[in-house]
């Protein structure tokens, strides 16, 4: 007769099983169907949401930063690598979104496939991803607004009130002598008000901004390509030095511009406000990515051909690349207008996605129920929207664009990895569930390749960026242990609510 197990050992094993408990797809869909959010978005609206979030930070901001710091003219290759990685992720997102058309994005998918603990981790990661991403774009929006005043009206705004007080030199903060970025703060607060008022109003504003910036990008590409100096492409791949340039620099450049591809993740967060989510979500995700990747590569090729790559480390590289060229004032003004409108739509979409992550996690009990409240008139998650707006305004007012952008890129890659894993798992655990879209060459070719690329780009990130990500996730685990795990509706159902925990076992009782 074996040694009897101690009671505390049983308790410990039970707690471990709770961490792996999964939320059934039937329950997720049932809760989504009971949502009071207003379903008003079409496939066209979702495509515009994707384009609105994707075209912005990558084209108007990070093209120059990544070229100057990492890849040189080979930033073109970096965009291709990032586009391939994002394209594979788009396939996985489309399959899961067609199966589970619920707000929450990668958080919801992970909850259904890998259990509560990993779902919490990715949900907490998405909070950082969207919040910091919106702040990054707000800083760049402010920079283009300053450029617009200078190019259009000859007015130079005071940098002390239009730039952050610090910059990041790769290892520490350095004071700039500036005080606060007031334009960035004001635009974030304005967008917060728009998002509280309603999703359809936000979609209309986004569509107008998207049409303006796509037109401006096309005009820039065709108007400036004739001014490209082939000498600026040499050397196409600058010699490696101190972790910059060379082959490693191209990969790090891809990681940096990957920030731009968060857009189609934002499409999936609007699932509960789509009219026909199973059909329209895949359309919105894939079509927006194809449009944007094409424009990214073309724009990058023109920008690095206009000016030496090492001069492009600024927050407004497109208009900056045109500064020393004659008869380009009209084009600079047009670019500034397009950037101001374009970056506005990016902020709008990112700040729309963030509260819906809060809302979904709160509905599951892992965040306070206050965050799940829907406004009685506007039918929007107004409390998390206001909280997001205030936090984003603070970050945008005081932190630099490159630090914020790197943090967002790494968070995006982690979310993509778990989405790929979710596709593979659901092919085995729910093989017969209807799918509006299936990943080509799945589950072992494209999802595995996409997951491997995501991990590789994370590993090649700056160590300080990875440290900040792990610090954020560490804080999240503390919050989960203190609140989320104890309040989870899945493992500790509320009264009169029938919820059966799924510990990851099949009907036969085996894992």
Residues in CB range of 383: below 8 A, 6 or more apart: 370, 371, 373
Pairing verdict, β 166-168 and 173-175: antiparallel
Using pLDDT thresholds of 50, 70 and 90, give the confidence band for residue 5.
very low
Residue 509 confidence (pLDDT) above 50: no
Using pLDDT thresholds of 50, 70 and 90, give the confidence band for residue 342.
confident
Greater confidence (504 vs 418) lies with: 418
- Look at residue 504 in the predicted model and tell me its pLDDT: 33
Least confident of 49-58, 142-151, 475-484: 49-58
Average pLDDT over every residue of 360-373: 86
- Look at residue 377 in the predicted model and tell me its pLDDT: 79
Residues in CB range of 301: below 8 A, 6 or more apart: 76
Greater confidence (332 vs 106) lies with: 332
pLDDT in tens, 164-221: 887 766 666 777 778 899 999 999 999 998 888 865 656 677 778 888 888 988 999 9
- Look at residue 182 in the predicted model and tell me its pLDDT: 94
CA atoms within 13 A on the CB side of 405: 31
Q: If you average pLDDT over every residue of the chain, what do you get?
A: 79
Decide: 105 and 124 in contact? Cβ < 8 Å.
Answer: no
Backbone angles phi, psi at 177, to 5 degrees: 90, -10
- Look at residue 262 in the predicted model and tell me its pLDDT: 66
- Look at residue 288 in the predicted model and tell me its pLDDT: 85
- Look at residue 77 in the predicted model and tell me its pLDDT: 92
- 0.95 surpassed by pTM: no
Q: How distant, in Å, are the alpha carbons of 57, 148, 160, 359, 376 from that of 373?
A: 31, 40, 39, 8, 9
167 membership: H or E segment, kind and range: strand 166-168
Using pLDDT thresholds of 50, 70 and 90, give the confidence band for residue 255.
confident
State the residue for tokens 């390749």: 449
d(CA 380, CA 40): 13
d(CA 357, CA 138): 20
For the four alpha carbons of 453, 455, 460 and 462, in that order, the dihedral sign comes to positive
- DSSP label of 270: T
Both tokens assigned to 454:
């995501």
Average pLDDT over every residue of 56-85: 85
Q: Which domains does the chain have, with CATH numbers?
A: 33-487 (1.20.1740.10)
- Look at residue 221 in the predicted model and tell me its pLDDT: 92
Percent of the chain predicted with pLDDT > 70:
82
Average pLDDT over every residue of 151-171: 81
Least confident of 116-120, 222-226, 354-358: 354-358
- Look at residue 468 in the predicted model and tell me its pLDDT: 80
Residue 360 confidence (pLDDT) above 60: yes
d(CA 331, CA 348): 25
- DSSP label of 160: G
State the residue for tokens 């909070």: 127
- Look at residue 82 in the predicted model and tell me its pLDDT: 85
- Look at residue 13 in the predicted model and tell me its pLDDT: 61
- Look at residue 6 in the predicted model and tell me its pLDDT: 47
Residue 95 confidence (pLDDT) above 70: yes
Greater confidence (73 vs 472) lies with: 73
pLDDT in tens, 288-333: 888 888 888 999 999 999 999 989 888 778 888 888 788 888 888 9
Across 3-17, 199-213, 273-287, 462-476, the highest mean pLDDT is recorded for 462-476
Residue 507 confidence (pLDDT) above 50: no
- Look at residue 7 in the predicted model and tell me its pLDDT: 46
Greater confidence (379 vs 158) lies with: 158
Both tokens assigned to 208:
């107008």
Both tokens assigned to 341:
């409108």
Greater confidence (502 vs 357) lies with: 357
Using pLDDT thresholds of 50, 70 and 90, give the confidence band for residue 282.
confident
Using pLDDT thresholds of 50, 70 and 90, give the confidence band for residue 31.
low
Backbone angles phi, psi at 396, to 5 degrees: -65, -30
175 membership: H or E segment, kind and range: strand 173-175
- Look at residue 181 in the predicted model and tell me its pLDDT: 92
């Amino acid at each position: 007769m074996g040694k009897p197990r101690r009671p505390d050992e049983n308790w410990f094993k039970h707690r471990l099983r709770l961490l792996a408990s999964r939320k059934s797809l039937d329950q997720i869909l049932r809760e989504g169907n009971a949502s009071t959010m207003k379903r008003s978005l079409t496939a066209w609206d979702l495509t515009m949401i994707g384009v609105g979030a994707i075209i912005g930070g990558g084209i108007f901001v990070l093209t120059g930063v990544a070229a100057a710091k990492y890849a040189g003219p080979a930033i073109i290759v970096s965009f291709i690598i990032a586009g391939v990685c994002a394209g594979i992720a788009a396939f996985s997102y489309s399959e899961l979104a067609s199966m589970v058309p619920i707000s929450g994005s990668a958080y919801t998918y992970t909850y259904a496939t890998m259990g509560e603990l990993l779902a919490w981790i990715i949900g907490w990661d998405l909070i950082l991803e969207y919040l910091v991403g919106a702040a990054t774009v707000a800083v760049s929006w402010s920079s283009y607004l300053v450029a617009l005043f200078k190019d259009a009206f000859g007015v130079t705004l005071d940098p002390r009130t239009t730039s952050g007080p610090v910059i990041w030199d790769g290892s520490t903060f350095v004071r700039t002598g500036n005080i606060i970025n007031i334009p960035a703060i004001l635009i974030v607060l304005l967008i917060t008000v728009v998002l509280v008022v309603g999703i359809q109003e936000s979609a209309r504003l986004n569509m107008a901004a998207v049409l303006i910036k796509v037109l401006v990008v096309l005009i820039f590409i065709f108007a400036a390509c004739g001014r490209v100096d082939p000498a600026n492409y040499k050397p196409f791949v600058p010699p490696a030095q101190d972790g910059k340039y060379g082959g490693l620099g191209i990969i790090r450049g891809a990681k940096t511009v990957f920030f731009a591809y968060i857009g189609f993740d934002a499409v999936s967060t609007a699932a509960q406000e789509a009219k026909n989510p199973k059909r329209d979500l895949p359309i919105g995700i894939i079509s927006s990515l194809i449009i944007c990747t094409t424009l990214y590569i073309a724009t990058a090729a023109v920008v690095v051909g206009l000016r030496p790559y090492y001069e492009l480390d600024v927050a407004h590289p497109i208009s900056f690349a045109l500064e020393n060229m004659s008869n380009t004032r009209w084009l600079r003004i047009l670019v500034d207008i397009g950037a101001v409108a374009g970056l506005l739509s990016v902020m709008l979409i990112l700040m729309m996605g963030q509260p819906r992550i809060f809302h979904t996690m709160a509905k599951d009990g892992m965040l306070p129920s206050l965050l799940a409240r829907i406004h009685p008139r506007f039918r929007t998650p107004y409390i998390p929207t206001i909280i997001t707006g205030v936090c984003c305004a603070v970050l945008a007012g005081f932190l630099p664009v490159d630090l914020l952008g790197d943090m967002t890129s790494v968070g995006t890659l982690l979310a993509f990895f778990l989405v790929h894993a979710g596709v593979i798992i659901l092919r085995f655990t729910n093989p017969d569930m209807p799918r509006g879209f299936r990943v080509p060459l799945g589950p072992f070719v494209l999802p595995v390749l996409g997951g491997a690329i995501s991990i590789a780009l994370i590993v090649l990130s700056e160590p300080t960026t990875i440290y900040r990500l792990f610090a954020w996730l560490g804080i999240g685990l503390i919050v989960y242990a203190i609140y989320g795990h104890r309040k989870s509706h899945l493992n500790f159902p509320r009264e009169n609510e029938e919820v059966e925990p799924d510990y990851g076992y099949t009907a036969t009782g085996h894992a």
